[in-house]
Amino acid sequence: MKYIKTKLPTHSEKIAFNADSLRSAVEIAVQNNIVLTCADLRRAKLQQAALRGICLECANLDGAHLDAAELGDANLRGATLRRARLPLASATTSDFTDASLRKANLRRSSLHHAVFTGADLRGAQLQGADLRYCDLRSADLRGANLKDADLRGADLREANLKGARNIPNTINY
């Protein structure tokens, strides 16, 4: 049986979650406004989880499965989501400032008005993603796949798009 440890800021001790009950525990944390700062949620199975408004600042979500999860208004500042799966996820108006989403799968995700300032999106799969009005200033998008991504109104000042694939010709950077 696998346990995932997380430190809740309101307690000084570590709390262990059975991986089978992790989804319920995380959703209960959201409902009770519990902050999961620096939580270790590597490879967590959170498909279609209701996580609106969750605080996962600096959390480790490497390899997590968040397919079709509801992450609107979430705080993921400084979080690591390397190789995380977020296809069809909804993370509108969420904050990914300085987060690492390297090689993350964000295909067809709804991310409009999200903040990715300084985020590492190298090699990210962004095909068909809704990135309208996103703040992508200083984001690293090297090698990202932007096929059919909607970047209307996105702020790409100082973003690194070197080697990015399928850049829409309608954007200015």
Confidence category of residue 3, pLDDT binned at 50, 70, 90: very low
Which domain, by its residues, includes 74?
37-173
> In this predicted model, what pLDDT tens digit does every residue of 54-110 receive, in sequence order?
999 999 999 999 999 999 999 999 999 999 999 999 999 999 999 999 999 999 999
Nearest to 114 by CA among 92, 129, 99: 92
- Tell me if residue 115 falls in helix, strand or coil: strand
For residue 24, tell me if it sits in a domain: no
Predicted pLDDT of residue 168 = 85
CB contact at 8 A, 21 and 30: no
Does 172 map to a domain?
Answer: yes
pLDDT score at 32: 83
Q: Is residue 112 part of a domain?
A: yes
Instruction: Report yes or no on 150 lying in a domain.
Output: yes
Percent of the chain with pLDDT over 70: 86
Q: How far apart are CA 38 and CA 61, in angstroms?
A: 10
Neighbours of 154 (CB within 10 A): 26
Domain for residue 145, yes or no?
yes
6 domain-assigned: no
Within a domain: 15: no
CATH number, residue 112: 2.160.20.80
Number of domains into which the chain is organized: 1
